[in-house]
Structure 1
Amino acid sequence: MIAKKAAHLDFDALREEVERLETALQGAEQGVWDHDLASGTVRYSATWKTLRGYMPDDDVDIVAGPWIDRVHPDDRKRIDETTMRQNTGELQVNSFEYRERHRDGHWIWILSRGRPIAWLPDGRVARILGTDTDISSLKETELALAEEKERLLVTLRSIGEGLVCLDSGGLITSFNQSAAELTGWSADDAVGRNLSEVLDLRSAADIPIAHSVVTHARALENGSTFWKEAEVVQRDGSRRRAHCSISPVMIRGLLTGFVAVIRDTTDEHEYKARLHHAATHDPLTGLPNRIFFEAAIDQAVTAARLEGRGHTLCMLDLDHFKMVNDGAGHAAGDKVLQGISQSLVECCGTGNIVARLGGDEFGLLLADTDGRAAYDFCDIITKSIGEHAFQFGHSVFRVGVSVGTKFITGDETSASKLMSLADEACYRAKAAGRDDGHRPIRQPRVQFNRMRSCPLSLRTTRSHRTLPALRISL
């Protein structure tokens, strides 16, 4: 009696355990299948059936035909081979994904897991128990992610900017074609290396800064970007200008890597340089124009005031130039202006500025010169221009030049005021008399305005010294 009662209790406990397992499987939407290889029968749980659109009481194999016939044709051969290995006991644990036709006709993805639970006396598998899970939504997400990844890869390959992905240690994990073209490194060679090995960024002082760029980016908050204008030294040693930005990749508050974008700005810088040159230089002679010259004078005034350096401003106006234009035409006049420009540049050498201010007016800015040195310098210039003969057809022309100067002390208020004073001196020199444009100029005319040292007589200097450089930026 006691034995029967104990057996009854064990049976009740077992039934409760089975019910709990079935409830758990149903809650997890796990369909259970039980394949008895000895009898060739397969039992399916209610959840297994409802996953496929059938009623819990349906005999699916009768209603829909054999299971293998419902497997997607593209998966059937692979599944056949897998289940055969499972049924022979070769696979102790089996897990595979496949597509199966739902009752309403569409395809669902199934993750099937199974393992043998009983064997025949000869060692063959007698029974296999397993579960099926509908992973269709997971597969749709996986497919969407794969498509998005492919789109991103195509985009990264196609964009003009170099894109480099790094891990948290600064090692390159991805390197697109534009980055390869900008650095001279192939993706195969670059991946796995430290960024500073591949991307040789240089500051304006030619100091390598790739490592510091990553260091700065590591300290940024999520969503921030560190950027830098720099030069990229390519693998063959050539250089390109670039704008480099790098951002940390933060996931759940943890640094997982960096993304660097390098945009080649060489053409942009060259274009801006051409625009700047066009805006600040005379197109006929290539000399700096009035805009450049006035800015240079302002900087010379500042240098004189802060550093005690004296500079000299000279305004030049050609004599008899109108005879060239009237006698031989404007093309001839242009040639004369170009020749005089070249002569002025040769006379002035480096460190001084020669500018064409318009028409037949020129300006000189002589660095670190006092009155005597400037006077001697003007002697060289006037003689050089006066000794040039310009021939057009059967006509030979000579032009002269009048020069007005102003010493820059640092007390001046503006470039325009200085130029006005030098212009007044130039007009006085011109008013002193013009020589015949067909003869060499015998005596240069130089007029000083408010010089510290004003000579009373002209001293001719046949050779000139090299003057110290006046650094001018614009």
Structure 2
Amino acid sequence: MAVRNPRSEPVSGVLALECAAAMHWRIQAGPVGPQVVLGLGVGETPLDLEAFSELFHPDDRADLRLFLTAGADVSQLGLDVSNRSPLRGALFRLRWGGVGEDYILTCFQSAEEVGEPVPRTVPGRMFRLDAALHVVRGTLESAGMTPTSCWDVDLRSGALSVAASWKDRLGYGPTDLEPFTHDDWARMSHPEDVAGFEAPEMKARLNRGELVQYLSRSRHRAGHWVTFLSFCRVVRWDAAGEMCFMMGCDLDMTAVSTLEGALARERDRLTTILDAMPYGKIVLDAHDCVSFANPEACSLIGIGLAEITGRSFADVLSLEEGRADLFSAIEEGEASQPVRISLRRSGRLRVLQVDLVPLPSQIGDGRLLLSLSDITGLHELRQQLEQSIENARFIATHDLMTGLPDRYLMMRLLGEKLTELAREGRPMAVLCIDFDNFRLINDTLGHETADQLIKSAAKRLEQGLPEGAILARTGEGDFVVLLPGADALAAESRSWEIVRAFARPMRLQRRQCFLTVSIGVALTLAPGSSAEALLRAADMAMHQSKARGRNTVTVFSPEIGAQFERRTAVAQALHRALEERSFELHLQPKFAIEQEVRLIGAEALLRLTDAELGPISPAEFIPVAEIDGLVAAIDLEVMRLAGEMLRTWAAQGICLPLAVNINATTLDEPGHADLAERLMRVGLDPDQVTIELTETGLAAPGPRQQRNLERLRDAGYKIAIDDFGTGQSALGVLQSLPVAEIKIDRSFVRGLDGPEPARARALVRAILAMAGALDLRAIAEGVETEAQYRVLKEEGCPAMQGFLLGRPLSLRSFEARYLAGMQPLRAVATAGVGGSGA
């Protein structure tokens, strides 16, 4: 039913509204029982108490009788008033003939009793709550400066009337959304909120006549959500007790940042209009006892009016949080900002905001006005926001896969630890750890397996670290360990423990995975050492471990620092050379060994002379290029230079065979999907140019490398295998590609006059025999002594190159020595272009 018990609801702010009617009543003995003498306007009407009660909803009649008899001497009327209480106002459902047999929610308001005669006449007012709310709605809408938008809905037809301000907040004009129904509202509202509003529990509360509040989201005309805090109450039922008419108001909660201030300013004015508005008001007297509390205040703190009125506020209020702040502000009589308190009601934590306003002395015995707002929803939203911010901070400073600090947080922690340990005079060690074969595992087993491997590796690393150590993940397979207080011996010992820990295989998805680690160790370099310098030193030591064969530990030393400074300088020189196109080609002649030595081509070798560093050997800059990923760019520069050279020679009628030495990594570059097309575009004709590749680069070509090799073959380019015999067998390549030439590696040539010349001679003889059987040209490279030349000639080696026959020369010197005055040559052999010749 709508109202189970009468609720004392003083509505001092609406007594003067036009919807209220003056009245008086008294209870007297009648001919057949108690009578109600009811005065409305002029005159009085005696009504049988039972007949008068029948004008009201059956569920409300007992409460009505109690209300009418409260405060009067009715001992002779035969009424049971043992539970009588001095009610000052109550809500009852009155049968309203104007709309059929509906019941409307009506408020009876009794004034203070005056005089002593018995039976006593009780003056008061009666008004329809729906009419009162309509007046309030008109007042609010005409003001146009409040965030409140009123509405009412006919629950039988679904017709929904909303204020123009409500439409405006959703981007609509005053004449839009006409006609408008509850179903229309449901379609433009969030499904979760609609479901919550239409839930059985919500309907039961409304049917009990409760003032209900809820949060809802409606779709703005522009597409975003607008959040409302809604308050509503049913004010009319039909004869069967079904809800007919409901009224409410919405507060726009979208602008949360300004909501609290707006609520504080609006609360006092709205509460004086109608205490049905959702704010609690409590007045404390000079002794901090409660002299007034409206129903909403009682509801918010979960204490009945009778239990709170006249009692010390400190005695009746039970809080979980905020008690000290609240009563400190009460004692001072004001608060610079709202006080937040929390209490538990029905098992749920409720958060209230309390505003304290000193009252002028002329306002009765009230000293302090407390305004209570339920901000539980806002508090929960704020907690969610704070949690989201905390999560965002974690994401910004941690590796999500392992939960470890990332590089940014690690650097901050390293700086803090260095400062702290410097004050204490204690050392600091940093370990840079890199998993040597992680990329291979990632490529072969897939990202999911590699991710699981990284998580397991991180756990294994954590298990072996001492208390106070900090572990961070700084890259794909890179970790950093900070060891505060560790000296060189302890840091190196801990590093070797990590190496041994990963000697045990890791089991993932029923398969064993082996990881090895290269570790670099750096200690506090000097007082005031920066975090960046210490980490850079550990990183250099780690790369030194990789250069030493991996799966080892290297402690940083000044020599390592010097080497890396040189490597960095060379890398910068390479970048400058590529940008400024300052690389040069040097040519080393290749000769046929027949009756007489005859020039058959040249191998072009890349040289670099930097303005700052001077000449840089290919043996030095090629490894740097490989580390920095510049090999492909250098190969393209070589192609360009070779193309320019061949075009110049062609204009002079010179046609000397030439080959382009391509690094295997260039064949695998995503940007070089069609290397054959690039070669022809720069002028490297397949009829004149042979591609020279190292045997190790051809041993196990990947899919992209295989496609490039096939396109080179289809375009007509022939392949020369450089350093033949030093890598894994390239016999499969000899069969599948048009290999025209194999170059006997200089290590075999050097062995011809070394400690075991017979063994070296046998190997050379075997290579020459295989070349002859496959109709391939064989050329020995690195021929530097007469003894080597003699043996090679005796074994029938058809072609040679090396310092003994001709050193590499600049392009101009080569042309002057070998090409000046020559007749045009036919293309009878090939030579390689590369970055690392003799």
- Structure 1 pair 364/153, CA: closer, same or farther in 2 (3 Å)? farther
Which residue of 2 is the match for residue 376 of structure 1? 493
SS of the residue aligned with 1:198?
Answer: coil
Q: In the TM superposition, what is the alpha-carbon distance from 1:383 to its structure 2 partner?
A: 1.5
Which residue of 2 is the match for residue 297 of structure 1? 414
Structure 1 letter corresponding to 2:324: H
Which residue of 1 is the match for residue 327 of structure 2? 214
Mapped to 2, the partners of 1:375 and 1:386 lie a distance apart of: 17
Mapped to 1, the partners of 2:351 and 2:115 lie a distance apart of: 57
- Structure 1 pair 354/217, CA: closer, same or farther in 2 (3 Å)? farther
Question: Matches of residues 57-456 of structure 1 in structure 2 within 5 Å?
Answer: 68=45, 144=132, 154=211, 168=284, 169=288, 194=314, 198-201=318-321, 210-216=323-329, 218-219=331-332, 221=334, 224-226=337-339, 245-252=353-360, 254-257=367-370, 259=372, 263-264=379-380, 266-389=383-506, 397-407=514-524, 411-413=528-530, 415-434=531-550, 441=551, 444-448=552-556
Runs of 5+ in structure 2 lacking a partner?
Answer: 1-21, 23-40, 56-64, 78-88, 90-108, 137-205, 216-228, 231-259, 261-277, 362-366, 559-838
Q: In the TM superposition, what is the alpha-carbon distance from 1:363 to its structure 2 partner?
A: 0.9
Percent identity, aligned pairs only, is 19
Q: Tell me, yes or no, if the aligned pair for 1:309 and 1:368 is still in contact at 8 Å.
A: yes
Q: In the TM superposition, what is the alpha-carbon distance from 1:249 to its structure 2 partner?
A: 3.9
What do residues 236-293 of structure 1 show as CA deviations (whole Å, max 9, x unaligned)?
9x998x9774321433262144637563455444433333332222222222222221
Which residue of 1 is the match for residue 755 of structure 2? none
Mapped to 1, the partners of 2:535 and 2:527 lie a distance apart of: 14
Mapped to 2, the partners of 1:113 and 1:244 lie a distance apart of: 39
What do residues 133-176 of structure 1 show as CA deviations (whole Å, max 9, x unaligned)?
9x87x96999849998xx99835688799998766448897888
Structure 2 letter corresponding to 1:323: L
Mapped to 1, the partners of 2:402 and 2:386 lie a distance apart of: 24
Q: Tell me, yes or no, if the aligned pair for 2:404 and 2:473 is still in contact at 8 Å.
A: yes
What do residues 17-51 of structure 1 show as CA deviations (whole Å, max 9, x unaligned)?
xxxxxxxxxxxxx9xxxxxxxxxxxxxxxxxxxx8
Larger CA Rg, structure 1 vs 2: 2
Mapped to 2, the partners of 1:216 and 1:449 lie a distance apart of: 65
Structure 1 letter corresponding to 2:392: L
Q: In the TM superposition, what is the alpha-carbon distance from 1:364 to its structure 2 partner?
A: 1.0
Structure 2 letter corresponding to 1:429: S
Which residue of 1 is the match for residue 187 of structure 2? none
Mapped to 1, the partners of 2:484 and 2:491 lie a distance apart of: 10
What do residues 409-468 of structure 1 show as CA deviations (whole Å, max 9, x unaligned)?
66134x43432232122222222222xxxxxx5xx3222357xxxxxxxxxxxxxxxxxx
SS of the residue aligned with 1:364?
Answer: strand
Mapped to 2, the partners of 1:147 and 1:373 lie a distance apart of: 83
Which residue of 2 is the match for residue 4 of structure 1? none
Mapped to 2, the partners of 1:353 and 1:280 lie a distance apart of: 14
Mapped to 2, the partners of 1:115 and 1:235 lie a distance apart of: 43
Q: In the TM superposition, what is the alpha-carbon distance from 1:366 to its structure 2 partner?
A: 1.6
What do residues 78-112 of structure 1 show as CA deviations (whole Å, max 9, x unaligned)?
9xx99xx99xxx9xxxxxx9xxxxxxxxxxx9999
Mapped to 1, the partners of 2:280 and 2:314 lie a distance apart of: 11
Query: How many residues get paired?
Result: 326
Structure 2 letter corresponding to 1:448: F
Q: In the TM superposition, what is the alpha-carbon distance from 1:310 to its structure 2 partner?
A: 3.5
Q: Tell me, yes or no, if the aligned pair for 2:495 and 2:553 is still in contact at 8 Å.
A: no
Runs of 5+ in structure 1 lacking a partner?
Answer: 1-29, 31-50, 53-65, 91-96, 98-108, 117-129, 181-185, 202-208, 435-440, 451-474
Which residue of 2 is the match for residue 183 of structure 1? none
